[in-house]
Structure 1
Amino acid sequence: MTQSGLRGEGPAVDDTMSLTPRDGGAPGGGGRQGGGGDRGNGRGTGGRRPKRRVLRWSATVLAVVILGTAGAGYLYYQHLNDNIRKGERSSGDSKAQKTGPNAAGQTPVNILLIGSDSRNSDANIALGGSRDNRGNPPLGDVEMLIHLSADRKSAAVVSIPRDTRVDIPKCTDPKTGKAYPATNAIINESLARGGAGCTLATWQNLTGVYIDHWMTIDFSGVVQMADAIGGVDVCVKQNVWDRPLPGVPGGSGLKLKAGTTKVEGKQALQWLRTRHAFYSDLGRAKAQHLYLNSMIRTLKSQNVFTDTGRLMDLAEAATKSLQVSEEIGTVKKLYDLAMQLKTVPTNRITMTTMPNVEDPLNRDHVVPDGENAKKIWQMLRDDVPFDANGKPTDAKQESAAKPAASADPAAPAGQIGVTVQNGTGTATLGPVPHRAAAVAESLVQRGFIKASADASGSVSADQTVVRYPSAELKGDAEAVAKALGVPAGSVERSTDVSGVTVVVGADWRTGATYPKQAAPKAGDIPKNSDAVNGADNSQCMDVYAPYRW
């Protein structure tokens, strides 16, 4: 947002500027033409002095108005900036690498949106209940990754259910300095183990997707934003009342009649929190996706980005409601980000939920659904659209450019030292025994006689990568990757290794050569991702029978 877009400045300047042609110029002409007319009529110097005074007076008034409104605009801009709460982008161990630029030099943007269940204020307790939980670290009950494509022509959203069991890395709380050891737990606990930066690191390790920014919002923030938007249409197939039932405590309090209803304020929060009446957390995720799609359509139809008054109302609500990672912690940066999202057509926005299956260790939890979840993450990393509505020419522009080959040639194979790590074990798959030794032996047979398995312990990686610590070893790493059949895009620089290192991931559990992966195509997302297109306004939530009335 720039000062020129602030309320009051435009009209004040326009009105003042109109004084000059009215008071100092000839009818139907500009001031300069009127001056020429005076001289042509022979009025002389005396006839020009009043005009000079008028022009001087007009210029003075104009200057005062401009300076005054600019000052007010600056103060308001600073006020909005002061509203914004900021935090550290990442507070946990994570090794995700940014996606390379496409053929046009553009890169995608990934934003993690976290809905906090914080009850550490009177407003949040009034809206969220559970007074006994006041003072407890907040949990991340809503977690969505927003992926904006490199060409800004498509967007994808992926939710992870709050009860998904994952590996949470070692994190340090940036506020208290308290360090939390790595653990295996449900993903919503990550927020309490180092803030949003820990949740971001958890997502990066799970998906391999580099996340540029995070945003968090709590109960009262949702209400403020919903009020600023002015209501969003949602739909249920049957009358719904999400309330406590015998043996099933809790409930959001949502009570609607069948059909479409415009919800705002507290009722919007109830919609977003409802899970019992929508069968489960998975149903709640879908309801949230329908709300977001409807909200986007609403904002586009209102032309909010060109309505200064509405934009200011939203800016006030957003800056008070959101906490953001520090690198986007100004009004201008948030506005610029919003304008990039604005360019995406609604029919090229796809809302999904991470494909998942029941956790074998706890039926109340879920875990990622193997290959289907991996496919989703690969599409995000490779910037492949979740929809198939783009033009054929877009597909060429969206494809990632091949990484530039190293200018430093590789050393002879026999002189390259290579360490191989076993990363085949994940939250859902046990490690393959002796996998690092087997791959190291295959390298030896290919002439890399200095290759050896890392005996210090196992790591965990969904995807196989080849890492190198410094530029002069890039060529060596590329030679190792080529020998094993690992794609060039999986060769990355990392300060966590001291030499060329092969991390054998869960995607390569057998064989001496990395298996060729079929590149996913636009729109080819797993069926169990529960996808909803942003232009689809026909979706209605089915209500679980006990919660109908």
Structure 2
Amino acid sequence: MGQQSRVQQGKASAVEDTMSLAPQDPGASADAGGPGGSGRRRQGRGTDRPRRRRRVLRWSAIVLAVVISGTAGAGYLYYQHLNGNIQKGERSSGDSKAKKTEANTAGQTPLNILLIGSDSRNSDENVALGGSRDNRGNPPLGDVQMLIHLSADRKSAAVVSIPRDTRVDIPRCKDAETGKTFPKINTIINESLARGGAGCTLATWQNLTGVYIDHWMTIDFSGVVRMADAIGGVEVCVKQNVWDRGGSGLKMKAGTKNVEGKQALQWLRTRHAWGSDLLRARAQHMYLNSMIRTLQNQNVFTDTGRLMDLAEAATKSLKVSEEIGTVKKLYDLGMQLKTVPSNRITMTTMPNVEDPRDRNHVVPAGADAEKVWAMIRDDVPFDANGSATDAKKPATGEKLSKDPAAPDDKIAVQVRNGTRTGTQAAVAGRAGTIAKQLVGKGFAQAVADSSALLDMDRTVVRYPSADLEGDAQRVAKALGIPMGSVERTSDVSGITVVVGADWRSGAAYPKQSAPKAGDIPDNADAINGSDSTPCMDVYSPYRW
């Protein structure tokens, strides 16, 4: 911050110097014929005036050039300083099946960013803020995970949290820093960060949701404090006095209060005082909505001093995927997010239900969770506050392969049963039923695969290499499966149809109704960004 202050002071000084060196209006000088001056003097001075004016202007220009170049040099050094603050990592470090979204007919593409809050205690500062000294040196866990979806037209945004104790399939991942490889595992999602870094968490999200994620950002305890201080306070609300004893340590009186620094971190970490991890996500959403409104009211993007404070804090606090690892790219990203009005921002939590294997965990809530992901994949606004024109914007295109498909009877297809979910048993015989359907449609080499059952919310067609993309799309078309559900992955050796929980009965793939703007499930716990009224209810044992 000291270097930043010197640069700011240098800029202010340069402005003052420039103003003091500006040539004065000769008509204002007493020597040019003011009271008491003689006509002869005026005449003599008048003959020299153009030459002196040119000399003053010339020297002013030289000094001004030096000032400007010096300030620009300081600005460049400061820019390099900010770039040096940024930590970067590999975008994806795991086996992942999602493919990048194609542009819509207007040439626009949505933007998806994964925000991960790390519980790392691998520094004195983080230990002091997060306690739990016994965990120092352990791989960090991703206790906060949110997907930020910015619509293709940049007019709306959605944020979806996944609770840290959600049981999911974490793919095979390789840590880019250590080279260590982690096998596939079925466990809670917050462990993904420790199994290959943020790139593994990104791959886990992509496989779960079918959403291609462009970038990730991580932030730890000390980073949250720095960012909160740079923002200068965010308004939050509790209905009763709260004291999260034995947890985050948050202690507040009932009502609305500005929190910053360590207290902001306590708010974001509080879980026991709200009653559950799911309610912690709601409190985090309230904070983020309030923060966005605060930044918009401060007009921070046009206030150079505030912007520099925020830039210093952000570059020291965030670790980002390598493709956005410069100040310019982060600034451009912020400017895109800035365009979204608060009433077009919706904070939600993935619909979930208790895990039948462990009541302390949750699993995605089947069709409701899939509907949320489908809305993001199809770029459907979570709010209904857009114009009629926005609602009719062209859907994201589905790119067909340029590689022609082989004849149907030459395409080898395996069909697997993925109808099992976290709360439902698999439907027996589904792979065989759909394999027979394919044979009846001319795919003579279609067979049922009797290997282990899968958990899949939606039906997909997978293929391992580019030369089989056309064949996979042909199979999908024959079954009526959307092209957006055709995925390339190294998990399969040939064309593979995985019959998901969305197709538990019948021979024909069920027609999916297109989701409409604002039609999010009731159990997504949605909060609109313009709503400043939400207030957290304190779990009774933590009131004082």
Show the counterpart of 2:23: 22
Q: Which residue of 2 aligns with 1:308?
A: 304
Q: Residue type of the partner of 1:462?
A: D
Structure 2 residue 472 is the aligned partner of structure 1 residue 477: yes
User: What CA deviation, in whole Å up to 9, does each residue of 1:422-445 have, x standing for no partner?
Assistant: 443455554444433332221111
**Aligned match for 1:518, one of 498, 506, 513:** 513
| CA drift at 1:295 | 0.7
Correspondence for 1:91: 93
Alignment partner of 1:135: what SS? coil
Give yes or no for contact 1:111–1:147 (8 Å, CA) kept in 2: yes
Question: CA offset at residue 47 of structure 1?
Answer: 6.1
In the TM superposition, residue 487 of structure 1 has moved relative to its aligned partner by 1.7
Give 1:86 shift: 1.0
Q: How does 1:538-549 map to 2 (within 5 A)?
A: 538-549=533-544
For 1:87 and 1:456, locate their aligned partners in 2 and report how far apart those are by CA, in whole Å: 36
Q: CA-to-partner distance for each residue in 1:19-67, whole Å, 9 max, x for gaps?
A: 787358888xxxxxxxxxxxxx999997654344323322211221121
Task: Give 2:398's aligned residue.
Answer: 403
Judged with a 3 Å threshold, the aligned counterparts in structure 2 of structure 1 residues 136 and 410 are, in CA distance, closer, same or farther, namely closer
In structure 2, the residue matched to 1:34 is none
Residue 500 to residue 137, structure 1, CA distance change in 2 (3 Å): closer
1:536 aligned residue: 531
- For residues 511 and 505 of structure 2, what CA distance do their matches in structure 1 show? 13
| CA shift for structure 1 position 375 | 1.0
Matching of residues 417-428 of structure 1 within 5 Å:
417-428=412-423
Q: Please give the TM-score of this superposition, normalised by the length of structure 1.
A: 0.89
What is the distance in 1 between the residues matched to 2:323 and 2:425? 38
Instruction: Give the corresponding residue for 1:274.
Output: 270
1:526 Cα deviation (Å)? Answer: 0.9
**Pairwise CA distance, 1:511:** 2.5
* Cα distance, 1:342 vs structure 2: 0.6
Q: What amino acid does structure 2 have at the position aligned with 1:22?
A: P
| Contact residue 238 and residue 256 of structure 2 kept, 8 A | yes
Unaligned runs of 5+ in 1: 28-40, 244-249
Deviation per CA, 1:148-195, whole angstroms, max 9, x where unpaired?
Answer: 111111111111111111111111222222221111111111111111
Aligned to 2:432: 437
1:344 aligned to 2:345? no
- Note the 1:362-401 alignment, pairs <5 A: 362-397=358-393, 399-401=394-396
Matches within 5 A, 1:223-302: 223-243=225-245, 250-302=246-298
**Quick one: distance in 2 between partners of 1:228 and 1:512?**
58
Match in the other structure for 1:181: 183
Does the Cα contact within 8 Å between 1:88 and 1:197 map onto a contact in 2?
A: yes
Deviation, structure 1 residue 147: 0.9
Say whether the 8 Å CA contact 2:122–2:138 is kept in structure 1.
yes
Residue type matched to 1:375 in 2? K
The separation in 2 between residues aligned to 1:471 and 1:127, in whole angstroms, is 49
Relative distance call for 1:11 and 1:253 in structure 2 (3 A) is closer
Kindly provide the amino acid, as one letter, of the partner of residue 153 in structure 1: K
Q: Do structure 1's residue 318 and structure 2's residue 314 form an aligned pair? A: yes
Change beyond 3 A, Cα 1:532–1:359? same
Distance 2:477 2:512 in 1: 15
Check 1:102–1:362 CA distance in 2 against 1; reply closer, same or farther (3 A cut): same
Corresponding residue number in structure 1 for 2:37: none
Q: Per the alignment, in what secondary structure is the counterpart of residue 113 of structure 1?
A: strand
> Would the alpha carbon gap of residues 124 and 409 (structure 1) be closer, same or farther in structure 2, given more than 3 Å must change?
closer
Instruction: For residue 392 of structure 2, give the secondary structure of its aligned residue in structure 1.
Output: helix
Contact 1:239 1:255 in 2 (8 A): yes
State how 1:125-204 maps to structure 2 within 5 Å. Answer: 125-204=127-206
Q: Output the CA distance in 2 between the equivalents of 1:42 and 1:56.
A: 22
Q: Which stretches in structure 2 are left out of the alignment for 5+ residues?
A: 29-42
Q: Aligned partners of 1:137 and 1:57: how far apart in 2? A: 61
After superposing the two structures, state which structure 1 stretch, 490-499 or 341-350, moved more: 490-499
What amino acid is the match of 1:378?
A: A
Instruction: Note closer, same or farther for the CA distance 1:389–1:182 as it changes in structure 2 (3 Å cut).
Output: same
Provide the C-alpha distance between the structure 1 equivalents of 2:83 and 2:420, rounded to a whole number of angstroms. Answer: 45
- Contact kept in structure 2, 1:222 and 1:321, CA below 8 Å: yes
- Output the aligned Cα RMSD: 2.7
| Residue type at the aligned position of 1:307 | D
Q: How many residues align?
A: 525
> Alpha carbons of 1:498 and 1:280: their partners in 2 closer, same or farther (altered >3 Å)?
closer
Equivalent residue number for residue 213 of structure 1 = 215
Distance 1:537 1:129 in 2: 32
Output the CA distance in 2 between the equivalents of 1:432 and 1:179: 34
Contact 2:301 2:307 survives alignment (8 Å)? yes
Q: Provide the rounded CA distance (Å) in 2 between the counterparts of 1:492 and 1:370.
A: 20
Alpha-carbon distance in structure 2 between the residues aligned to 1:219 and 1:501? 43
Q: 1:411 and 1:273, CA in 2 relative to 1: closer, same or farther beyond 3 A?
A: closer
CA distance 1:123–1:103, change in 2 (3 Å): same
1:45-124 aligned within 5 A: 48-124=50-126
Tell me which moved more, 534-543 or 442-451: 442-451
Percent identity, please: 74
